[in-house]
């Protein structure tokens, strides 16, 4: 498990466990909301500090590893904080801080019931997400991937309405079935290779495969990770899960669940199969066909949605496949753009969902047709929304421009102009379904807005921060966390 560039460290384990340790404290503080929410915030800050402490060594090429449990020779539960894992963990743990503050404003402002269960489930979700990020092998990955599924269920059904229960059941039906596919695929890999440990360039890179093995195995993996990645036709659970409270939607779309899905796609493409195997058996063509179709169809469906969260949900489905399509290009710029888009989409989409939640708590309006003139009474919220919308449409200087630039460059490197066309058309469709919302908010006259102002500060401050952060990372993507450098080195390692 170890090599000269690795070192034993329990920091990845502590980063996983810190929010899990907060769960009993949150539950015991049920009757003391301020204390309960303090535990949430303390866990969020400590988790981020632990993840951030791994950055300096990772930038020098060193990897923190810890073997937790050997189940049998060659099969173990282990954590490994490689550069890709740290990249994802930084995003998830950093945005959890903002989501924690925002959640406090949301549940109080909306007088949500069962707030203790809400915060406890949130903490388990973040523990499992960091576990996904730091999994050293497929077995450990599956364990945390499935814990994430189960922990998210109470959040999806939080309102306990018939619609919420139905959405939760649909979520479990899709994700648990996907988990079974992932288990079967991983067992097949172990049978072929004798190992489950992730390796840059692919576990299967040095194994003799035939098309009759490679294609079905890849399709099994795609079924396993494609559900949380929102790849059509495996995306059906995602719009249904929008019945959850808005901070949960932000968790689903920006921080944990779907980002774990696209993280898993890149793990499968780059660390299980590897670019050589993907290209030799045209597996990248299969992946590109699914991703390209998803991008265009999701964007067209988003255009038709009047419900704001539904439009954001289909936007997410499309943008997740930007990341998948970047990986399918098998070029350095494609991988770089896809990996960067994990970070850029996260900051922009969490901003948009935060804005949707602020509008709902403040005005109890959910439909786009009801948003005329709200920019005049909620200028900070709709200003942040405008930044997020610009970024997702690829307008500089918001960070979405940078990741889209490299995705387009990756398509040119691969000499696949039709994929470049997909990115361009999708960018135009993004503008078509986002900019009318901005126009309504700032340039149309509203009704029944007298006496209203901004949403509570606990909600407005986080959404403004994530919007500003999106612009800052667009101007300097290496500021603070070396996101660009991490993405560049990860992409380079996959193609060596």
Give me the DSSP letters along 133-184. HTBSBHHHHHHHHHHHHHHHHHHHTTT--HHHHHHHHHHHHHHHHHHHHHHH
Cis, bond preceding 233 (omega within 30 deg of 0): yes
Residue 484 domain-assigned (yes or no): yes
CB neighbours of residue 5 within 10 Å: 10
Per-residue model confidence (pLDDT) at position 2: 39
CB neighbours of residue 71 within 10 Å: 9
* C-alpha pair distances (Å), 439 with each of 16, 108, 407, 467: 43, 30, 29, 18
Ranges of residues in the chain with a pLDDT under 70 are: 1-4, 252-253
Q: Please choose, from the candidates 260, 275, 198, the residue with its C-alpha nearest in 3D space to the C-alpha of residue 227.
A: 260
Strand ranges across the sheet with 75-81: 6-8, 63-72, 75-81
Q: Give helix then strand counts, H and E, for the chain.
A: 20, 3
Task: Please report the sign of the dihedral spanned by the C-alpha atoms of residue 374, residue 376, residue 378, residue 381.
Answer: positive
Q: Is the distance from CB of 231 to CB of 219 less than 8 angstroms? A: no
Per-residue model confidence (pLDDT) at position 253: 63
Q: Is the distance from CB of 101 to CB of 41 less than 8 angstroms? A: yes
Cis, bond preceding 232 (omega within 30 deg of 0): no
Per-residue model confidence (pLDDT) at position 75: 85
Per-residue model confidence (pLDDT) at position 107: 86
Q: CA 45 from chain center: how many Å? A: 19
Q: Which domain holds residue 195?
A: 6-494
Angle of helix 417-443 relative to helix 400-413, nearest 10 degrees, comes to 160
Residue 1 domain-assigned (yes or no): no
Q: Does pTM surpass 0.85?
A: yes
Q: Is the distance from CB of 178 to CB of 145 less than 8 angstroms? A: no
Give, rounded to a whole angstrom, the gap between the first and last alpha carbons of the chain. 20
Angle of helix 257-266 relative to helix 308-328, nearest 10 degrees, comes to 10
Residue 266 domain-assigned (yes or no): yes
3-state secondary structure of 215: helix
Return d(Cα 284, Cα 455) in angstroms, integer.
Answer: 45
Q: CA 217 from chain center: how many Å? A: 25
Residue 434 domain-assigned (yes or no): yes
Length of the chain (residues): 496
Per-residue model confidence (pLDDT) at position 247: 78
Domains of the chain: total: 1
């Amino acid at each position: 498990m170890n090599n000269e560039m690795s070192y034993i460290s329990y920091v990845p384990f502590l980063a996983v466990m810190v929010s899990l340790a907060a769960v009993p404290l949150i539950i015991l503080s049920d009757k003391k909301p301020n204390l309960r929410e303090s535990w949430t915030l303390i866990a969020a800050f400590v988790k981020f500090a632990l993840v951030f402490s791994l950055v300096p060594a990772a930038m020098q090429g060193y990897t923190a590893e810890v073997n937790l449990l050997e189940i049998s020779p060659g099969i173990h539960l282990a954590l490994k904080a490689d550069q890709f894992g740290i990249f994802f963990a930084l995003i998830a743990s950093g945005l959890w801080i903002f989501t924690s503050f925002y959640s406090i404003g949301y549940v109080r402002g909306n007088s949500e019931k069962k707030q203790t269960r809400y915060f406890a489930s949130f903490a388990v979700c973040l523990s499992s997400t960091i576990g996904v990020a730091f999994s050293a092998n497929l077995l450990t990955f599956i364990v945390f991937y499935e814990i994430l599924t189960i922990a998210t269920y109470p959040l999806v059904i939080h309102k306990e309405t018939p619609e919420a229960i139905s959405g939760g059941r649909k979520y479990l039906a899709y994700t648990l079935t996907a988990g079974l596919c992932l288990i079967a695929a991983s067992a097949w890999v172990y049978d072929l290779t004798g190992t489950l440990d992730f390796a840059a360039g692919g576990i299967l890179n040095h194994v003799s495969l035939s098309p009759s093995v490679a294609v079905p195995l890849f399709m099994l993996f795609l079924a396993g990770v494609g559900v949380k990645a929102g790849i059509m036709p495996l995306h059906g659970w995602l719009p249904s899960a929008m019945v959850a409270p808005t901070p949960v939607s932000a968790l689903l779309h920006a921080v944990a669940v779907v980002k774990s899905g696209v993280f898993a796609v890149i793990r499968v493409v780059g660390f299980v199969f590897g670019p050589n195997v993907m290209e030799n058996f045209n597996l990248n063509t299969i992946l590109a066909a699914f991703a390209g179709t998803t991008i265009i169809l999701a964007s067209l469906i988003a255009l038709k949605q009047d419900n704001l969260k539904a439009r954001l949900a289909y936007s997410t489905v499309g943008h997740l496949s930007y990341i998948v399509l970047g990986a399918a290009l098998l070029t350095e710029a494609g991988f770089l753009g896809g990996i960067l888009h994990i970070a850029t989409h996260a900051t922009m989409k969490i901003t948009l969902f935060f804005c949707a939640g602020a509008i709902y708590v403040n005005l109890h309006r959910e439909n786009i047709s009801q948003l005329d003139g709200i920019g005049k009474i909620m200028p900070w919220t709709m200003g942040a929304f405008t930044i997020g919308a610009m970024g997702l449409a690829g307008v500089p200087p918001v960070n979405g421009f940078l990741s889209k630039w490299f995705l387009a460059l990756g398509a040119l490197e691969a000499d696949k102009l039709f994929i470049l066309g997909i990115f361009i058309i999708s960018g135009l469709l993004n503008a078509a379904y986002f900019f009318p919302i901005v126009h309504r908010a700032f340039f149309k006259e509203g009704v029944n807005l007298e006496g209203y102002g901004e949403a509570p500060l606990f909600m407005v401050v986080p959404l403004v921060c994530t919007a500003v952060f999106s612009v800052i990372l667009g101007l300097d993507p290496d500021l603070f966390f070396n996101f660009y450098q991490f993405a560049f080195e990860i992409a380079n390692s996959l193609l060596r």
